[in-house]
């Protein structure tokens, strides 16, 4: 009797587990690989090329569906279509569209598409419809190398370069002359096997060089009262290394405490940063982005922009003054100011005492100043005519400011030193810095 009851309890355990398994099997019906297909669309919605990633083919009619959607849906990065989930990014007029049918991290798809766009524009020297079409074989080969069965395979640009040679003048000429030039490498890049997959095993250079660039972008918002609401720096440490062998580098900052937050290239070891805020790493070969960082709550922008607008009885007077607020010690170059004229403006007559003003047909106005002259304050002035019936302007444009300063990092971050564990012969180290405007908005 006891045994019987024991068996029954065993049976129920079993059946529960079986049910679980059955459920799992049912669930697995839906499981398949991650990304199923990547489409590249031109700015007119034409499919430039498609790359099917798995056996589950995705018909290209999905692109037509996508293109026909209303703007409010079409501009979403993640779209649930009736048959697939779509991820999209738009880069230089080309839409990269990826499809999946199953749950997967959406950011993974988006980041991957960004990575593809980066690699392609690096290979082709830019991105546009013609470039992609002209080099479609390379695009195919790259995509095939970058993703396997919907899961990213090799995305490290340095390794990709070894696998598939970028098109260059020499190979082009060679292909014209001989009619035959393969851009597919016969051998596996050595980096793929090592514990530092971002680096070829044994590069050799006669002269060893390593350059460190601090490239900073200033994000700022000045509100309508002329108050600086937000001012922060988004910076990157970019490196270019051509070092023989297997170098082990350490980079330290004089004032790491200014850093609000940071993100690292995979080569950076986390431990030394956690304990002493020192970057210790084996660099990739060539150009790469070592880290990016943020410095918040800056007190000042190098430039001031003072816009004024008065509107009365259907006409507005605009005047904008631009000048140096706090001198960074270096010349501020390529100053530009651009803004979108409101819809209700029917015509604009703007002129400046320095630089050039252009107004495009889509009502984008750009004022190219260049450098601030020493003798006068650049000023943009003119009138805007409102559409008939409007007395006053009730919406106001936002000015986007652009500038560049070479030789200085506005965040104040300073590199203390760059050390190599084993110093190779003829080593040359170089440091540079520059700051440019990022999202610098001045509201009117």
Partner 1 sequence: MFNQFGSTAETLSKASAAVLRIGTDAHLYDDPEDVNIAPLLDSKFESEKCEALKRLLALIAQGFDVSNFFPQVVKNVASQSSEVKKLVYLYLLHYAEKRPNEALLSINYFQKDLGDPNPLVRAWALRTMAGIRLHVIAPLALSAVGKCARDPAVYVRKCAANALPKLHDLRLEEHAPAIEELVGILLNDHSPGVVGAAAAAFTSICPNNFSLIGKNYKKLCQILPDVEEWGQILLIGTLLRYVVARHGLVRESLMLSLHGLESNGFYEKDGLVGDKKDGDKSDSFDANLVSLVSKCYIEASFDSKETTSVGDNEDVKILLQCTSPLLWSNNSAVVLAAAGVQWIMAPLEDVKKIVKPLLFLLRSSTASKYVVLCNILVFAKAVPSLFAPHFEDFFICSSDAYQVKAHKLEMLSLIATTSSISSILREFEDYIKDPDRRFAADTVAAIGLCAKRLPEIPTACLNGLLALVRQESFAGDLELVDGEAGVLVQAVMSIQTIIERDPLSHEKVIVQLFRCLDSVKVAAARATIIWMVGVYCSLGHIIPRMLTTITKYLAWSFKSEASETKLQILNTAAKVLISAEVEDFQMLKKIVLYVLELGECDLNYDVRDRTRFLKKMLSYKLACHEPTEDSVASQENIAEHVVEYVFGRKLKPFSPLNLHNRFYLPGSLSQIVLHAAPGYEPLPKPCSFVVEEHDQLSDSGRQREAMSGLNGSQESSETVDEDGSSEYDSESYNGSDFSSDGDERNDANDAADPLIQFSDIAVSTDQEELRSKRALDLWLDEESSTSNQTPSALDRNQSSYAKISIGDIGSRVKPKSYTLLDPGNGNGVKIDYTFLSEVSTVSPLHVCVEVLFQNSSTEPIVEVSLEDEEAMNVSDSAEQTLVGKANASYNNVPTLIPMEELSCLEPGQSAKRLIQVRFHHHLLPMRLSLHYNGKKVPVKLRPDLGYLVKPFSITIEEFLSTESRLPGMFEYTRRCTFTDHIKDTRMENGKDKFLTICESITLKVLSNSNLHLVSVDLPVASTLEDATGLRLRFSSKILSSEIPLLITITVQGKCTEDLNLTVKINCEETVFGLNLLNRIANFMVETSSSAI
Per CB under 8 A, which of residues 371..430 are in contact with partner 1?
387, 389-390, 394-398, 400
* Beta carbon nearer to partner 1, 279 or 372: 279
- Cβ contacts of residue 94 below 8 Å, gap of 6+? 40, 41, 42, 43, 48, 117, 127, 128, 129, 132
Candidate residues 2, 68, 274, 327; the one interacting with partner 1 per rule CB under 8 A: 274
* Beta carbon nearer to partner 1, 182 or 353: 182
Candidate residues 45, 75, 201, 426; the one interacting with partner 1 per rule CB under 8 A: 75
Stretch that binds partner 1, among 82-90, 238-246, 248-256, 275-283 (CB under 8 A): 82-90
CB 373, min distance to partner 1, A: 28
Residue 346 is a binding residue for partner 1 (CB under 8 A): no
- Cβ contacts of residue 269 below 8 Å, gap of 6+? 280, 281
Binding to partner 1, residues 299-338 (CB under 8 A)? none
Query: CB–CB of 402/437 below 8 Å?
Result: yes
Stretch that binds partner 1, among 199-207, 260-268, 300-308, 419-427 (CB under 8 A): 260-268
Torsion of CA 132, 138, 140, 146, to 10 degrees: -110
Residue 66 is a binding residue for partner 1 (CB under 8 A): no
Residue 13 is a binding residue for partner 1 (CB under 8 A): yes
Strand pairing partners for 305? 322
Q: Where do we find the tokens 């695009």?
A: 139
Q: How many helices (H) and strands (E) does the chain have?
A: 9, 23
CB 383, min distance to partner 1, A: 19
Residue 270 is a binding residue for partner 1 (CB under 8 A): yes
Gap between the Cα atoms of 115 and 134, Å rounded: 21
Gap between the Cα atoms of 22 and 109, Å rounded: 30
Helix or strand run (H / E) with residue 436: strand 427-443
At 116 the three-state DSSP class reads helix
Per-residue tokens: 217 = 């972008």
Binding to partner 1, residues 228-257 (CB under 8 A)? 229-230, 234
Candidate residues 215, 228, 321, 344; the one interacting with partner 1 per rule CB under 8 A: 344
Candidate residues 43, 45, 92, 172; the one interacting with partner 1 per rule CB under 8 A: 172
* Beta carbon nearer to partner 1, 59 or 353: 59
* Beta carbon nearer to partner 1, 225 or 327: 225
């Amino acid at each position: 009797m006891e045994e019987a009851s024991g068996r029954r309890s065993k049976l129920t355990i079993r059946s529960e587990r079986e049910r679980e398994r059955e459920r799992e099997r049912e669930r697995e019906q839906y499981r398949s690989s991650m990304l199923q297909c990547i489409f590249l669309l031109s700015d007119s919605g034409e499919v430039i090329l498609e790359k099917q990633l798995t056996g589950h083919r995705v018909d290209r009619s999905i692109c037509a569906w996508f293109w026909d959607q209303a703007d409010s849906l079409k501009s979403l990065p993640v779209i649930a279509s009736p048959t697939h989930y779509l991820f999209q990014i738009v880069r230089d007029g080309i839409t990269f569209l990826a499809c999946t049918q199953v749950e997967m991290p959406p950011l993974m798809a988006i980041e991957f598409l960004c990575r593809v766009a980066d690699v392609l524009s690096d290979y082709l020297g830019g991105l546009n419809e013609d470039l992609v079409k002209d080099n479609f074989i390379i695009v195919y080969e790259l995509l095939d190398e970058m993703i396997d069965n919907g899961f990213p395979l090799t995305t490290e640009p340095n390794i990709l370069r070894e696998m598939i040679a970028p098109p260059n003048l020499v190979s082009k000429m060679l292909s014209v002359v001989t009619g035959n030039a393969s851009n597919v490498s016969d051998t596996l890049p050595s980096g793929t096997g090592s514990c530092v997959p971002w680096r070829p095993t044994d590069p050799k250079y006669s002269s060893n060089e390593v350059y460190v660039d601090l490239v900073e972008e200033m994000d700022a918002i000045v509100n309508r009262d002329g108050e600086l609401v937000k001012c922060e720096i988004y910076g990157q440490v970019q490196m270019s290394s051509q070092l023989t062998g297997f170098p082990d580098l350490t980079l330290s900052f004089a004032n790491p405490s200014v850093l609000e937050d940071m993100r690292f290239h995979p080569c950076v070891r986390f431990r030394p940063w956690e304990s002493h805020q020192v970057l210790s790493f084996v660099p990739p070969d060539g150009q790469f982005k070592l880290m990016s960082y943020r410095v918040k709550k800056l007190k000042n922008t190098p430039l001031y922009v003072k816009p004024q607008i008065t509107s009365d009885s259907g006409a507005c007077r605009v005047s904008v003054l631009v000048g140096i607020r706090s001198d960074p010690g270096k010349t501020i170059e390529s100053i530009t100011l651009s803004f979108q004229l409101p819809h209700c403006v029917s015509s604009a007559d703007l002129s400046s005492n320095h630089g050039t003003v252009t107004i495009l047909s889509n009502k984008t106005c750009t004022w190219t100043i260049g450098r601030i002259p020493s003798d006068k304050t650049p000023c943009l002035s003119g009138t805007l005519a409102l559409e008939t019936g409007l007395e006053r302007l009730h919406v106001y444009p936002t000015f986007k400011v652009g500038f560049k300063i070479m030789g200085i990092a506005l965040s104040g971050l300073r590199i203390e030193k760059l050390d190599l564990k084993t110093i190779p012969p003829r080593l040359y180290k170089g440091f540079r810095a520059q700051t440019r405007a990022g999202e610098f908005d001045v509201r009117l």
